Amino acid sequence: MLELRPNCECCDRNLPPESQEARICTFECTFCADCVDKVLGGVCPNCGGGFVLRPVRPAALLAKYPASTKRVLKAEGCAPVRAA
């Protein structure tokens, strides 16, 4: 099950469970659409994988399976992965 992390790892913007702006990689590194498009170029800076739109969990199920409240933020900032 997805954690549904509450924020963008890059800019710390709030990404509530119903957000259409949330993007995740296969490890559920979570970023906003702005950072994915403008900063990261569609590549996860943690694992090098791509992103997909995070699916929205229906509200009725959120009550039973609540979203994570643990904020994850990249301390060193989120520069895009650069090819050597």
- 50 or 58: CB nearest Zn ion: 50
Per-residue b or e along 35-62, where b marks 16 or more CB atoms closer than 10 Å to that residue's CB: bbeebbeeebbeeeeebeebeebeeeee
The contact mask relative to Zn ion for 17-46 (x = CB under 5 A, - = no) is --------x-x-x--x--x--------x-x
Residues 44, 63, 56, 26, CA torsion sign: positive
Pick from 5, 7, 8, 40: which binds Zn ion (CB under 5 A)?
A: 8
**Could you tell me which stretch among 10-18, 58-66, 69-77 binds Zn ion (CB under 5 A)?**
10-18
